[in-house]
Amino acid sequence: MKLTENDLRLLIRNILREQEEEAEEETEEEVEAEEEAVEPEVKEPEVDPELQSLADEYENASSFKAKSEAIANILRRPEFFGSDIVGPTKGKQVKGKNSMRFGIGAGAKDKHDPKDIADKVYAVLAPNKTNPVQVFGPDKGPNESGTYTAYVLPDLGNLMFTFGGAGETSGQRKGGYEYEMNVIFPNLKDAGLEAELGADNTISDVYVVTKDGKLGIEVKLPDAQLGEPTLKYNIADKSFFPSVEKGINVDVANLINADDTSTDSYNRMVIIRDKVNAQRLADGEDSELTPFQDIIDKITRAEYDQIVKPSLRDDTEAGSDISGVKIGEFKIGSDRMRDYYLGKKAGLVQVKGKGLYHLHPDFEIKIKDEDGNEKRTILFDFNDQVSGGVQFRNMKGNRYGIRSDTRSAPLKKIRQSPIDLDSEADREAFAAAVPDMTFPDPKSVMGDKSLAESVDSRWQLLAGIKE
């Protein structure tokens, strides 16, 4: 076969084209291989299954209380606060403000960085967050605490944490909270009782399951105080009344109004109204609050420091029995204290170092000791009345409100009860007896006149003998 010059040119062109295509295919393979070497498969980081479970608990919780408990369980892990956290602070979980407070032990803030812990909790609850934790000092921004720093988590609906002393505050309440939470409650569970903690300070501290319901136990330290309701004052009626109308709050207000110093309280409230209103009117539109009418309730911190305290200290009206910066005083007896605890759905009171007491004979507990001798609780009763006072106190943010308080400690002098839940033997006997017992609704026996009359036979009550 004879090839012409054109045939040779065509043959050479085809050979060259095939070589170029082979070179291109090899280059693509090399590029693919290189890409595989440079970008290996990325594996997702492993998530601690327990932390993930707790995060799921928070996400799926049906109540705000349950959400705070889930977060508390995260905070109890060793990489967070560990054993230095007590738990959610009673009465400080506010769903409407998406705010939670957690009680931590003394010195815990020196051992841990709360901001770092807030960051780590945020990462667990919102792994895809885009906004960092925001920090607000006391009384700054949304933080209504005048004591503790707040940490706000924007991508969780501005969920806000504060880390305070164990209990509602540090000090005496801290000790009471820890006694209730870390001693009485777990000991009752260890004794075999089905027990649970009260959700806040409007109900009893601890409940145990009985035959037909639950039995409330109020848990107190010997220096415990009566409740401290927030009050308002009606100038027209010359009387205090509670911001929240419920049993004991109304009782405390009535006790204050019936006290011999009620006239002095009125005189002092008139002084406060007139001087605070004069300043508010002078400030005009710049005043934070409007002038008082008949009702006196809140004042600002500046008004308290610059007007109220100096005015009350200068009050030298003849015959005044109220001293210092108080605006009222009162006394309260054990009968009122019993009604107070019964109103919180309690039937018993456990006082550290003193023992277990019933609030009404229908809640009397009988057990037998190791020798078969019967022991009974005695009535919660004490000889000395409690002295109380009323004054303006720091409430939230830049506000002061009217609060009552008690300062004497009658429980330090209360007679020792034969039964004590701090005794293992008594606790086990209590746990064996209570689940098969029945009790009335505590509120149904409040104000029992027959009980009040029987207090006259005090020696019988102290011996635990019913008439």
Digit-coded pLDDT (tens) for 200-239: 555 677 889 999 899 999 998 887 665 678 899 999 999 9
Interval 180-190: pLDDT, tens: 777 888 899 99
Read off the pLDDT of each residue in 69-82 and give the average, rounded to a whole number. Answer: 88
Question: Does the pLDDT value for residue 32 go beyond 70?
Answer: no
Average the pLDDT over each of 17-21, 155-159, 441-445 and give the range with the smallest value. Answer: 17-21
Residue ranges per structural domain of the chain: 49-165, 171-467
Interval 299-350: pLDDT, tens: 998 999 899 988 887 665 545 667 778 888 887 788 878 987 898 889 999 9
User: pLDDT band at residue 298, thresholds of 50, 70 and 90?
Assistant: very high
249 to 223, 253, 411: CA distances (angstroms): 21, 6, 21
Half-sphere exposure of 189 (CA within 13 A, CB side): 10
User: pLDDT band at residue 11, thresholds of 50, 70 and 90?
Assistant: low
Average the pLDDT over each of 50-64, 88-102, 369-383 and give the range with the smallest value. Answer: 88-102
Interval 359-400: pLDDT, tens: 999 999 999 988 889 999 999 998 777 788 898 988 766 789
Percentage, residues of the chain above pLDDT 90? 35
Interval 392-421: pLDDT, tens: 988 766 789 999 887 667 888 899 999 999
Interval 133-190: pLDDT, tens: 999 987 788 887 767 889 999 999 999 999 876 543 334 445 566 787 778 888 999 9
pLDDT at residue 228 in the model: 73
pLDDT at residue 168 in the model: 39
For the entire predicted model, the pTM comes to 0.54
Question: Does the pLDDT value for residue 282 go beyond 90?
Answer: yes
